[in-house]
Homo-oligomer: A and B are copies of this chain.
Amino acid sequence: MVRWEPGAPERLQKAALELFATRGFEQTTATEIAQSVGLTERTFFRHFSDKREVLFYGQQLLVEAFLAGVAGAPPDASPIEIVAAGLESAATFFPDENRTHSRTRQAVIDENPALQERELHKLATIGTTIADALRARGVDELAATLAAQSGMTVFGIAFTRWIREGETRSLAGIAADVLGELVTLTGKATRIGDA
């Protein structure tokens, strides 16, 4: 006989997404989420630092996937190539079966500025972590920051496209294309940095 149902964070996360998707983020209170899975508001805030965080549970795994890709890049790879390796590795965290779920989640985020802020902050934090990893590999400060943040830009754009209705390509494939486009784009800046 167990005292509580196990997996409180997961149950809260699932219930929260469902409620947010139907009623909207602001129209859903933390108390409602907690009660819908037989818990109290206080317990909700023990698992998640704030109401928004429940939607971002598990992001640490994405960071680790990214870093694993960075670590696996060949020693002579350029910063952008290292980031490309990170992107490819991170993309494995979003298999095509997750597309529908990701779409639902993103729809909720896209409807609420507060959630967009949190998402951007998460991406920026990952970018900082990647930049640290690049620096640890000997990349200089500016190049590391630029490459890492550009990688986050590419990831964000690729993810948005991966989510699109009718899209069938894998996230990794899209990310590679977007990164390629970035390279092409900057290559056309003939009047800048052509040193």
Q: Which residues of A contact B (CB under 8 A)?
A: 78-81, 84, 113, 116-118, 120-121, 124, 142-143, 145-147, 149-150, 153-154, 156-157, 176, 178-195
Contact = CB atoms under 8 A, between A and B. Distances in A.
Given A118-B117, A182-B193, A193-B182, A188 B150 contact: no
* Residues of A contacting B: mostly: helix
Given A78-B190, A117-B121, A146-B178, 6 more contacts: A78-B189, A84-B189, A117-B120, A142-B178, A146-B185, A183-B187
Contacts of A147: 185
A72 to B, nearest CB: 15
Contacts of A186: 80, 150, 182-183, 186-187
B143 A181 contact: yes
Contacts of A190: 78, 81
A74 to B, nearest CB: 10
